[in-house]
Amino acid sequence: MRLYLAAAVLMLAFVAYTEAQDAPQDDSFANFQDKMTEFGRGVADKARDTIETIKNSEFAQKTHNWFTDSFQKLKTKFSELSQD
């Protein structure tokens, strides 16, 4: 009984080994590279969309306007001080 079991295990190991040898390594690497490229593009697109959404948000616009007004007031104060 043990001999049959050992023979079956050896045959399975041999089949697995030959299938591993027959598998094309270049294609699997090319597929992996394509998948990673596609993943990178997807992440970049999502990041670009998120940044665009944040840029166009009401909070971002109010903050931008506040900084612009504050900077303009500061320039005016400095110009008044330099004239004196």
Mean pLDDT by 10 residues, the chain (84 residues): 75 77 64 88 93 91 94 93 79
For the chain, how many structural domains are there in total? 1
pLDDT at 1: 59
Instruction: Using only the alpha carbons of the chain, give its radius of gyration.
Output: 33
The residues, ordered by sequence, that sit 6+ positions from 61 with a Cβ below 8 Å of its Cβ are none
Structural domain span for residue 43: 2-25+33-83
pTM score = 0.46
- Give the separation between CA 52 and CA 61, rounded to whole angstroms: 12
All residues at 6 or more sequence positions from 54 whose CB lies less than 8 Å from its CB, including other chains: 60
Q: Does residue 60 contact residue 54 with C-beta atoms inside 8 Å?
A: yes
